[in-house]
Amino acid sequence: MLNNFNKPLKLRNFAGFYKKNKKEEISFMREKIVEKELYDYQERDLQKIFTYLNDAPDNFNLLYQLPTGGGKTVVFSEIVRRYIEQTNKKVVILTHRIELCKQTSKMLNGFGVRNKIINSKVKELPDQDEYQCFVAMVETLNNRLNDEKLEVDNVGLVIIDEAHYNSFTKLFKYFEDSFILGVTATPLSSNIKLPMKDNYKELIVGNSIPSLIEKGFLAKAETYSYDVGLTSLQVGINGDYTVKSSEDLYTNMSMQEKLVQAYEERCKGKKTLIFNNGINTSWYVYQTFKDAGYEVRHLDNTHSKKERKEILKWFKHKPDAILTSVSILTTGFDEPTVENIILNRATKSLTLYYQMIGRGSRKLPHKDIFNVIDLGNNAARFGMWDAPVDWQQIFKNPDYFLENITGDEEIEREFKYKMPEEVRELFKNSENIEFDIKKAYNEAVNNGQKSKAVLEESVNQHAQMCAENSEDVFDARILARELKDDIRDRVKRYSYCIINNTKNYRDWLFEDYNRKLRSRINDLFQE
């Protein structure tokens, strides 16, 4: 039976090596202790977790949710300290990346918990009795346990960081008599076929993002969304957009221009982190910004440890640095000085969405707000990053949540085209440039007209705009090219009205519209 878990946290803040003599070690630790209370919301969560540790069976599986930046590592490090102190049993902490292993081990040291990292170099544990806590990569530990070369005795508690990754479940069989505590910011499995409710019996939900912002623990996000047509993207077997289809879209000149435009409108001069879906895309981004005269670096998982360290050091110390990356910085990376997050990709992963934006949410004395530039309709798909979320419902009914995520076609139906100022200037002699396709379609149907009459009316308006702002037919036909985005938007809205929204049909309508527009321009100058 566990007890006395209400002792205030004494945050260990020391560096150095442990003394071999146990009494000297304890004396050394006490001399360096700096008392610091946990934040109230962290302490409340601890008490809830301890209730389960105290009352539930020894082999109970519990899940704990707390947003990125809320201090998950701090919370479970204090759990480890108190658990070992009260039970004298060992604790194993599992992570999926070596960077998280090192960060966790460092945090545990700060709490006075003597621990050992089980990495690829550790084949056996002849010294396991000298430690009460072990931090391990999931694949490494699984290999060691499978080979029966390594065994950890008297494990009472297993803590799983980033528990939404299903790679951890393969280790559950080795700890069938241990209490398992999963920790995550998003209690939604990375594999839709393996819901978290199948591996964890209960979920404890910590403070929400809105609450942490209100209390001053997280910075507030200012989100700017730029409409992006995603109909060309394909979904892979993992449930997210494929790298190939994403790279085909995000490497085209139009998207690169939109990215730079968004940066210059909202981010220029401030530290910016860009997330991409694909290494090739990130290199395109790098070259685009470099050609535009900006200092920019690229980082992906093919860089060596030395290269990565140098790039991140540059990013840390340069106030207006631009870093374009692929996946590698979504977890295990903490740079509080980031002021802009650019999502230069679309994702169907709620977890990834929160992870990417979370990289900018760290609060500093001079940083209360950070920018999120959304170039993948992600906010429309999942909701705003700082909106309330019912994690209990998502945990208990993940299929319902996933099935009701707003689809790309539904999102794009809400797009409203706005003519850029430089294009509007070319048509300054035209008082009215708006045309409501849906309204015109409804009127045509009610009047018994054919639906194509709507497009003919639209073509007439565009032709009139070109004629009003040109000296001759040749200028007018050249000017008509500037209307391509407006035409695509009108064609798309028309296709929604007639419920024929295939890409091939829209492409045919677009070409047909342009042919009729050129013909109508000729007619106007001959009249």
CA pair distance 274, 245, nearest whole angstrom: 19
CA dist 280 and 326 (Å) reads: 9
Evaluate if residue 496 carries a pLDDT over 70. yes
Note the pLDDT tens digit of each residue in 442-457.
999 999 999 989 999 9
156-202 pLDDT, tens per residue?
999 999 888 877 888 888 888 899 999 999 999 888 788 899 999 99
With CA atoms as reference, report the closest residue to 200 among 212, 217, 183.
183
Q: What angle do CA 501, 248, 504 make, to 5 degrees?
A: 25
Contact status, residue 367 vs residue 216, Cβ threshold 8 Å: no
Q: Residue 406: helix, strand or coil by DSSP?
A: coil
Higher confidence at residue 220 or residue 153? 220
Rounded Cα distance, 89 and 174, in Å: 16
Q: Is residue 241 very low, low, confident or very high in pLDDT (cuts 50, 70, 90)?
A: very high
Residue 285 banded pLDDT, cuts 50, 70, 90: very high
Q: Which range among 7-21, 128-142, 491-505 has the greatest average pLDDT?
A: 491-505
Closest to 361 (Cα-Cα) out of 396, 335, 392, 398: 335
Residue range 40-207 forms a domain whose CATH class is alpha beta
Contact between 340 and 290 under an 8 Å Cβ cutoff? The reply is no
Query: What average pLDDT does this structure show over 139-143?
Result: 78
Gap between the Cα atoms of 267 and 341, Å rounded: 9
Q: Is the pLDDT of residue 272 over 80?
A: yes
- The band of 29, judged by pLDDT with boundaries at 50, 70 and 90, is very low
Residues 6+ apart with CB under 8 A from 7: 82
Query: Which residue matches tokens 């004298």?
Result: 88
Q: Which long-range contacts (CB under 8 A, 24 or more apart) does 420-429 make?
A: 423/482, 423/483, 426/469, 426/479, 426/482, 427/465, 427/468, 427/469, 427/479, 428/469, 429/468, 429/469
Q: Which two tokens mark 475?
A: 């200028």
CATH number of 212-405: 3.40.50.300
73 and 107 in contact (C-beta within 8 Å)? yes
Picking from 76, 84, 74, 83, the residue whose alpha carbon sits closest to that of residue 37 is 74
Instruction: Give the CB-side neighbour count of residue 219, counting CA atoms within 13 A.
Output: 25
Q: Round to whole Å and give the CA distance between 14 and 27.
A: 13
Residue 233: is its pLDDT beyond 90?
A: yes
Report residue 337 as tokens.
């000085």
Q: Tens digits of per-residue pLDDT, 303-347?
A: 988 999 999 999 999 999 999 999 777 666 778 999 999 999 999
- What local confidence, expressed as pLDDT, does residue 239 receive? 86
Supply the pLDDT for residue 149: 67
Cα 252 off chain centre by: 23
Domain boundaries for CATH 3.40.50.300 within the chain: 40-207, 212-405
